[in-house]
Amino acid sequence: MTQHFDAIIIGAGQAGPSLAGRLAGAGRKVALIERKHIGGTCVNTGCMPTKAMVASAYAARVVARASEYGVSISGTPAIDFARVMARKDNVRFNARKSNEDWLAGMENCTLIRGHARFEDAQTISVGEERLTADQFFINSGGRAAIPDYPGLSDIPYLTNVSLLDLNTLPQHLAIIGGSYIALEFAQMFRRFGSDVTVIERGKRLIAHEDEDVSLAVKNILAAEGVRFHFEAADLRFANNGHGVEITIGNDAKIQVSHVLIATGRRPNTDDLGLDRAGVSLDKKGFIEVDDSLKTTVDHIYALGDCNGRGAFTHTSYNDFEIVAANLLDNDTRKVSDRISTYALYIDPPLGRAGMTETAARASGRKLLIGTRPMSRVGRAVEKGETLGFMKVIVDAETNKILGASILGTGGDEAVQSILDVMYADKPYTTITRAVHIHPTVSELIPTVFGDMKPA
């Protein structure tokens, strides 16, 4: 027997349940299909568990620096790794249950467990069941991309998912990759007491950021004892009886206990039967969508990591907002209206909004650029957290803000004030003329704008 729904949502990540709530609240009969855990990457293997671990690592760092603040701690502080991991699990499992309870009480919404595959543009199968719908919304997420290095398939490597289930602290963790996931795990495990080596095929970390940001991040982690190998494209892996031997290039060898692969993400689009529905993919496997997130099939939409238009929880949620606004609110919203923004959650964090300096220069605009070290930010000095710097970039002809990087304590929060002015399409003077609370990190943002120079 075939069941028919007004809307079928494939995937219960950040966008899926919220869209189900809006559609069901509008009186539509909705099916939400999830083959694994409610909440998707963010709740289960991404933001929530990893930031819980980042918090534990931060606490360890504060304890290690306690004497700098005039605090004496008797005895030798130690990392209870089992409790760190238990706290992480408590955070993610509570969040998952909250999502499950919400969906269970949602009228007009049926939660179906299983793997959805398109049979044609109007029909999907979930096991033996056949479901049809007027509209489909794909929210299938992504997973770790695994490179084809010699010997890698012969060792028990970790991904961002399996690492969260470790029972014992790695003695020496090698991390393959030098971007966001890699660096957050590198710092936290170093603070937990592991030796950590980051192996990056490029010339520097987080290559899509400006070089000054990349270098500052490297120096912060190196000062804590993280080791680095760059331009390491030629890697080979082998079990050696005591762990893993990694050969870099012709002769460099390192012995490690664990290997984490953090070389990027790929979309979960290869097992959905999208070809049967006529949905087109790009060369990287992402679902092709237009500005309203509609695929090449008029009644099928794609949201979140699977569409290649953003790889963050906040962009996935914004995808939901765009779709809901267009379908239910008669409010035309577009992906192209979105300003790029994200954070790197090392300590101190990097908050980013808009263009990098590199991209701004490449655009040919006349620029104003301002920088300020965090050592000259009173709030940072008071907290004893003075690493990093602020940088702002402005179009010299329009006075509109093009971008900002705040690498420093509270940078992930402080950058929001800049982002809000960018969305309001106001000049930077909107910030410089505002009164900010003292003492805060944000109060120095007007000063950075005031100190800008032609570039």
Total domains present in the chain: 3
For 213-340, strand residue ranges (E) read: 227-229, 235-239, 244-248, 252-256, 258-261, 265-267, 300-302
Q: Any residues with CB less than 8 A from the CB of 74 and at least 6 apart, and which? A: none
CATH number at residue 406: 3.30.390.30
Above 80 in pLDDT, residue 452? yes
**pLDDT at residue 63, as a whole number:** 96
242 shares its domain with 273: no
Residues 242-276: tens digit of each pLDDT: 899 999 988 789 999 999 999 999 999 999 999 99
Residue 143: closest CA among 234, 273, 44? 44
CATH number at residue 301: 3.50.50.60
Helix/strand/coil for 118: strand
d(CA 214, CA 218): 6
Mean pLDDT of 367-375: 98
Residues 385-433: tens digit of each pLDDT: 999 999 999 999 999 999 999 999 999 999 999 999 999 999 999 999 9
**pLDDT at residue 241, as a whole number:** 82
Instruction: Label the pairing between strands 195-199 and 227-229.
Output: parallel
The residues facing 455 across adjacent strands are none
Residues 306-350: tens digit of each pLDDT: 999 998 999 999 999 999 999 999 999 999 999 999 999 999 999
**pLDDT at residue 76, as a whole number:** 82
205 shares its domain with 67: no
Above 80 in pLDDT, residue 1? no
Listed residues 224, 247, 263: the one ending a domain: 263
pTM here is 0.96
> How many other C-beta atoms lie within 10 A of the C-beta of residue 406?
34
203 shares its domain with 256: yes
* Whole-number average pLDDT of the chain: 97
Count CA atoms within 13 Å of residue 184 on its CB side. Answer: 20
333 shares its domain with 345: no
338 residue type, one letter:
R
Q: Are 401 and 428 in contact (CB under 8 A)?
A: yes
331 residue type, one letter:
D
**pLDDT at residue 306, as a whole number:** 98
Q: Are 203 and 181 in contact (CB under 8 A)?
A: no
Helix/strand/coil for 15: helix
**pLDDT at residue 251, as a whole number:** 76
Listed residues 337, 361, 392: the one ending a domain: 337
Residues 184-212: tens digit of each pLDDT: 999 999 999 999 999 999 999 999 999 99
400 shares its domain with 450: yes
**pLDDT at residue 113, as a whole number:** 97
60 shares its domain with 135: yes
Instruction: Label the pairing between strands 116-120 and 123-126.
Output: antiparallel
254 shares its domain with 394: no
d(CA 383, CA 69): 9
**pLDDT at residue 338, as a whole number:** 98
Above 80 in pLDDT, residue 71? yes
In DSSP notation, 28-59 reads --EEEEESS-TTHHHHHTSHHHHHHHHHHHHH
138 shares its domain with 271: yes
d(CA 316, CA 449): 31
Above 90 in pLDDT, residue 74? no
Helix axes of 81-104 and 15-25: crossing angle, nearest 10 degrees = 20
160 shares its domain with 219: yes
Listed residues 337, 370, 395: the one ending a domain: 337
Mean pLDDT of 143-148: 96
Residues 207-236: tens digit of each pLDDT: 999 999 999 999 999 999 999 999 998 999
238 shares its domain with 358: no
357 shares its domain with 450: yes
d(CA 51, CA 32): 27
4 included as an active-site residue: no
353 shares its domain with 412: yes
Residues 84-134: tens digit of each pLDDT: 999 999 999 999 999 999 999 999 999 999 999 999 999 999 999 999 999
d(CA 298, CA 293): 10
Above 80 in pLDDT, residue 378? yes
**pLDDT at residue 344, as a whole number:** 98
Residue 268: closest CA among 7, 8, 9, 11? 11
CB-neighbour burial class of residue 31 (10 A; exposed 0-12, middle 13-18, buried 19+): buried
**pLDDT at residue 423, as a whole number:** 98
Domain of residue 160 covers: 152-263
